[in-house]
Structure 1
Amino acid sequence: MGSRRKRTKSKIEVIKENSDYLRAPLAEEVGNDSSHFGKEAIQVLKFHGTYQQDDRDLREGRDRHYIFMIRGRLPGGKMTPDQYLAIDKIADDYADQTLRVTTRQAFQLHGVIKDELKKTLQEINNSLITTLGACGDIVRNVMASPAPDIDGRQARVQAFADDLSDILLPASKAYHEVWLNGDKVYSGKEEVTDSEPLYGHSYLPRKFKVGIALPKDNSIDIYTQDIGLVALFDDDNEIEGFNVIVGGGMGMNHRKEDTFPRLGDDLGYVPREKVVDVVKKIIEIQRDHGDRKNRKQARMKYLIHKWGLEKFENELTERLGYELEPFRELPDFELDLYLGWNRQSDGNWFLGLSIENGRIKDDGALQLKSALRKVVKEYGTGVRLTPNHNVILTDIAEDDKESIEHIFDDHGVLLDDELSNAIKYSMACPALPTCGLAITESERALPDIIRDLDEVLHDLGLEDEKLSVRMTGCPNGCSRPYVADIGFVGRSLDKYTIFIGGDPSGTRLNRKYKDLVERENLVEEVTPLLEHFSKNRINGESFGDFWNRVDVEETELVSA
């Protein structure tokens, strides 16, 4: 019997190659009578901004309950009032009447059925928002500081994020042909062609994430991006150039030691006029050398880990024809949630609202979705979605502040100074019942956990601590748990791995503390850590800084 042929590429790579630039077999299945797409079509569907899901709460025996999640592409999380109101209505008409703010500053609609998928995508595009570039093995939503203009720099970074996002969009006409009847509705600057000059016929080996930060402001977790750009400014607050960071990423697999979260490396500095060329060349290196056999090793972080930064840098220099300048010194990064009232550069105000776990909905006394709709409609506020899945309402006149606060109060929505730090600094991914990767709860579990934890913090006099707690239903890390003070990462059904010692400013990974902890025991397990921290910290250090300095194995605390 002959030996088996060695696999040269994964099955998904073959699907991408055979897709005719993201058409087949998706185009043939869009209008059929099935409630769902086939295995090959759902892989292509992701590139169009949509995931096929199965609501495990609504399964009947072995029969799956097929629904679709749609994700928008919003560079820097920016939406006009009309766009927000349009998406709000689409959520009511076609989805589950909720909006989900993601940790990449996008929105997600959940619960759309296949018969209404095309109509839903058409209406999203009619609002001048596209879902192309929100998912798949391409550059995802380009992140940027969520704040509207404060001192002249934020607006310039947002404008650059808009331009870069358009430049990095797939060029295939497939999206417009399949969903928009061949019409180009989205008003961006992208060219629509029959080839992919940047991505090639197989696109990238895995998803690719780009974010743009300002000095000190690391609200986007710059070191967790495949490419992080830190904008540097001249004396007139014009962008002079960028520090470039490469090789970050959160995902891992509990059972595979060769998978791990990784923070990016400082690569160098590039003047503004050259930065697009540099970004494209970095993407091309990943396109040409990323692992196409094993998707668990396909992110660019693993390429840099295997090559080493020096080899990666040499490859980039060869492609560019010049070397990057040395990485420029930066001030320490901080996490700013931009909550509460803040002044804009034009004299107006913006209001940052904490959205617990990013879910915008009406639920009993908390009528958050209705309140946001009323304020945006009546006052014409712009909307920004933040990397900590919150919402910022912009362009508010001084005279309207009080009446807007009354609207939120009437709808049971608490403002920044009415919420605990534990709630404000927590994040969770959607997880069960809809995410196909979830192995346990996250969004539905964290509210009770965080309130129990908040009681402990108050008892210890730690209620003013800015303690970041992030939870995921699987180890892929969508809520970026591996840079949090405390990370609860789904391990198996109702069991989690606890990580401690990260830095919410996003510049340090945490480490594993205990494994296979039952959900009901999570707060109990971290309480001794909080007690030890409260008694022994120095100089007002944070929880993460303390447990980065102190070896838990050398204390009386016992770890698994």
Structure 2
Amino acid sequence: MTHPINPDFQVQGQLSDNERLKKDSQLLRGTITKDLKDEITGGFNGDNFMLIRFHGMYQQDDRDIRAERAEQKLEPLHNVMLRARLPGGIITTAQWLAIDEFAGANTLYGSIRLTTRQTFQFHGVLKPKIKSMHQMLHKIGMDSIATAGDVNRNVLCTSNPVESVLHQQAYQWAAKISEHLLPKTRAYAEIWLDEEKVETTEVEPILGETYLPRKFKTTVVIPPQNDVDVHANDLSFVAIAEQGQLIGFNVLVGGGLAMTHGDKGTYPRKAEDFGFIGLEHVLAVAEHVVTVQRDYGDRVNRKNAKTKYTIDRIGADNFKAEVEKRVGVKFQPSRPYEFTGRGDRFGWVEGIDGKWHLTVFIENGRLLDYPGKSLKTGVAEIARIHLGDFRITANQNLIIAGVAPEHKAQIEQLARQHGLINDSVTEQRKNSMACVSMPTCPLAMAEAERYLPTLVTYVESMLARHGIADDHLILRVVGCPNGCGRAMLAEAGLVGRGPGKYNLYLGGNREGTRIPKLYLDNVGEAQILQALDELIGRWVAERRDGEGFGDFVIRAGVVAEVKVSKTDFHA
């Protein structure tokens, strides 16, 4: 079969089984309802194991006790992780208190996990509690539709509480894009909310009856903060403002970080800049970037099914031209913008409306009560008296937003009392991040969340020993190469290979606009720490004014710059 855009490309091979699964699913229903009544197993059977992802859940088990349960002739302790749909990360205090109560009473771990997708996750929900979890979310005006699976995922938006008018406008577009690209099937409402099935012809006008070839991620970003890591996403809208008012967006397409160890046909990739569009075209452009990927993405090899590979296969100009044809509008030349950083702004900042916003650092995004640090209780206590809202950041932190000046002291007292403000937290710790990994993620090859605090302590000691204790490098650790912790946009990124073994990648930059390159392959902690110590020492001795660690290792020739991922990343 000849490809309709690129005649030189022949579509060959047998469709992946996921395509069969989606087509046979009755628009994502499968037999999930029947499976919920199966008390023999705590898991889901057959296709339903994958189908529940489209409803926002992954089946997992506690890998720490898997072997012990096997010895006892028990199946793994099956449970689900749920990821909520929360465009832009904004959540009311009433909603927060409801999820806090559910997490404490109905999950194996009792925690709320803030994620890099600017939402929260429940970990460890057993099958008998799943339906009540969805009904609780519905009661408070939330859901988990399309936060996993081959669909457009939760839409991110820069957490910018200072320029409140511009942020509100950008956030509204994130919410509109999320709603526009949602699946239209009523499967979620029927299965989880007990709504009656209506005999009608259902169609998926945007996603199609077999949905997308792979997951699809969308962001809205407000320069100069690249706090959503635009190059980790299939589609990003870069806000362009004039006199504090949003006038349109530059559109970036084809970013993505996932890869497969040992497969040189996979690689992380930066997004392409397609150009500028006015606000009146935002939803149509979002829709048709999705439909082009829907129609031309690889449905044979899922490892090459993401938008970044479609663009590299058919050409960025061809992809862009097809979007323009479907929308009926030409992209204008991109408007100038600059990213100057991507971290969160911690502490108190005042918005242009006179309201105050407190960003608190949550290591690994894990809200739980620890000895001497009752984080989960502290956030709940603040929620009970706070008159504004909360905003989850894409860096796993929390903003207590919209605080009136007269309430600042009370909010700060509660935050300090419960360990949510700790003046001793270093810049290095604030600029380090990890995915969940062990013990719950079935894809994890090595530790990440549980290892990060120890690793950061080592790096802090290196920085202090070399006389730059107040400086930092963007450091990220992930348990596998699927990209959840965005290590492939770090100045130093560790990607799990096996127990205690990682690949070390170097050379990203502080702005998040460069992919790092492999420096050490499949090594343990000792080699990683030795390499980082030596390179930090060189950075201190040889750096130029204001030069970040990632820029230094490129300039010094420690690793080559990745300019074109397809040719440079594995070279």
Deviation, 1:284, is 0.3
| Number of aligned positions between the proteins | 540
Greater CA drift, 317-326 or 417-426: 317-326
Is the contact made by 1:173 and 1:193 (CA closer than 8 Å) also made in structure 2? Answer: no
Is the contact made by 1:18 and 1:24 (CA closer than 8 Å) also made in structure 2? Answer: yes
Deviation, 1:151, is 4.6
**Mapped pair 1:116 → 2:122:** no
User: Residue 364 of structure 1 corresponds to which residue in structure 2?
Assistant: 371
User: Residue 537 of structure 2 corresponds to which residue in structure 1?
Assistant: 531
Summarize deviations over 1:108-158 as a string: whole Å, max 9, x none: 000100111111111112111110021111000000011335252111101
User: How far apart are the structure 1 equivalents of 2:386 and 2:290?
Assistant: 41
Indicate how the Cα distance of structure 1 residues 492 and 275 shifts in structure 2: closer, same or farther if over 3 A, else same: same
User: Residue 70 of structure 2 corresponds to which residue in structure 1?
Assistant: 61
User: Residue 344 of structure 1 corresponds to which residue in structure 2?
Assistant: 351
Sequence identity of aligned pairs in percent? 36
User: Residue 187 of structure 1 corresponds to which residue in structure 2?
Assistant: none
Is the contact made by 2:508 and 2:514 (CA closer than 8 Å) also made in structure 1? Answer: yes
**Mapped pair 1:262 → 2:269:** yes
User: Residue 322 of structure 2 corresponds to which residue in structure 1?
Assistant: 315
Q: Secondary structure at the match of 2:208?
A: coil
Summarize deviations over 1:380-399 as a string: whole Å, max 9, x none: 34111001100000121222
**Mapped pair 1:167 → 2:180:** yes
User: Residue 558 of structure 1 corresponds to which residue in structure 2?
Assistant: none
User: How far apart are the structure 2 equivalents of 1:462 and 1:179?
Assistant: 53
User: Residue 241 of structure 1 corresponds to which residue in structure 2?
Assistant: 248
Is the contact made by 2:507 and 2:559 (CA closer than 8 Å) also made in structure 1? Answer: no
Q: Secondary structure at the match of 1:516?
A: strand
Summarize deviations over 1:240-265 as a string: whole Å, max 9, x none: 11100000001001110010000101
Q: Secondary structure at the match of 1:423?
A: helix
Is the contact made by 1:147 and 1:384 (CA closer than 8 Å) also made in structure 2? Answer: no
- TM-score w.r.t. structure 2 length? 0.92
Is the contact made by 1:348 and 1:397 (CA closer than 8 Å) also made in structure 2? Answer: yes
User: Residue 494 of structure 1 corresponds to which residue in structure 2?
Assistant: 500
User: How far apart are the structure 2 equivalents of 1:485 and 1:183?
Assistant: 52
User: How far apart are the structure 1 equivalents of 2:488 and 2:385?
Assistant: 40
Q: Secondary structure at the match of 1:552?
A: coil
Alignment of structure 1 residues 407-418 onto 2, 5 Å: 407-415=414-422, 417-418=423-424
Is the contact made by 2:390 and 2:398 (CA closer than 8 Å) also made in structure 1? Answer: yes
Residue type at the aligned position of 1:181? D
- The CA RMSD over aligned residues, in Å, is 1.7
User: Residue 145 of structure 1 corresponds to which residue in structure 2?
Assistant: 158
Q: Secondary structure at the match of 1:160?
A: helix
Residue type at the aligned position of 2:439? P
Please, which of 149, 159, 168 is the counterpart of residue 155 of structure 1?
168
User: Residue 458 of structure 2 corresponds to which residue in structure 1?
Assistant: 452
Indicate how the Cα distance of structure 1 residues 445 and 193 shifts in structure 2: closer, same or farther if over 3 A, else same: farther
User: How far apart are the structure 2 equivalents of 1:526 and 1:231?
Assistant: 36
Is the contact made by 2:237 and 2:250 (CA closer than 8 Å) also made in structure 1? Answer: yes
Deviation, 1:48, is 0.2
**Mapped pair 1:87 → 2:99:** yes
Q: Which runs of 5+ in 2 are unaligned?
A: 1-11, 561-571
User: Residue 189 of structure 1 corresponds to which residue in structure 2?
Assistant: none
**Mapped pair 1:77 → 2:89:** yes
User: How far apart are the structure 2 equivalents of 1:196 and 1:454?
Assistant: 51
Greater CA drift, 332-341 or 500-509: 332-341
User: Residue 128 of structure 1 corresponds to which residue in structure 2?
Assistant: 141
- TM-score w.r.t. structure 1 length? 0.93
Greater CA drift, 257-266 or 458-467: 458-467
Please, which of 172, 179, 192 is the counterpart of residue 192 of structure 2?
179
Residue type at the aligned position of 1:85? L
User: How far apart are the structure 2 equivalents of 1:413 and 1:247?
Assistant: 37
User: Residue 3 of structure 2 corresponds to which residue in structure 1?
Assistant: none
User: How far apart are the structure 2 equivalents of 1:193 and 1:173?
Assistant: 11
Is the contact made by 2:431 and 2:475 (CA closer than 8 Å) also made in structure 1? Answer: yes
User: How far apart are the structure 1 equivalents of 2:212 and 2:162?
Assistant: 34
Q: Which runs of 5+ in 1 are unaligned?
A: 1-5, 185-191, 555-560
Is the contact made by 1:224 and 1:506 (CA closer than 8 Å) also made in structure 2? Answer: no
User: Residue 384 of structure 1 corresponds to which residue in structure 2?
Assistant: 391
Find runs of 4+ consecutive structure 1 residues off by over 4 angstroms.
Answer: none
User: How far apart are the structure 1 equivalents of 2:343 and 2:500?
Assistant: 32
**Mapped pair 1:98 → 2:111:** yes
Residue type at the aligned position of 1:9? L
Indicate how the Cα distance of structure 1 residues 110 and 332 shifts in structure 2: closer, same or farther if over 3 A, else same: closer
Is the contact made by 1:439 and 1:473 (CA closer than 8 Å) also made in structure 2? Answer: yes
User: Residue 464 of structure 1 corresponds to which residue in structure 2?
Assistant: 470
Is the contact made by 1:147 and 1:338 (CA closer than 8 Å) also made in structure 2? Answer: no
Deviation, 1:7, is 4.4
Q: Secondary structure at the match of 2:214?
A: coil
Residue type at the aligned position of 2:524? E
Is the contact made by 2:32 and 2:48 (CA closer than 8 Å) also made in structure 1? Answer: yes
Please, which of 434, 437, 446 is the counterpart of residue 440 of structure 1?
446
Indicate how the Cα distance of structure 1 residues 218 and 490 shifts in structure 2: closer, same or farther if over 3 A, else same: same
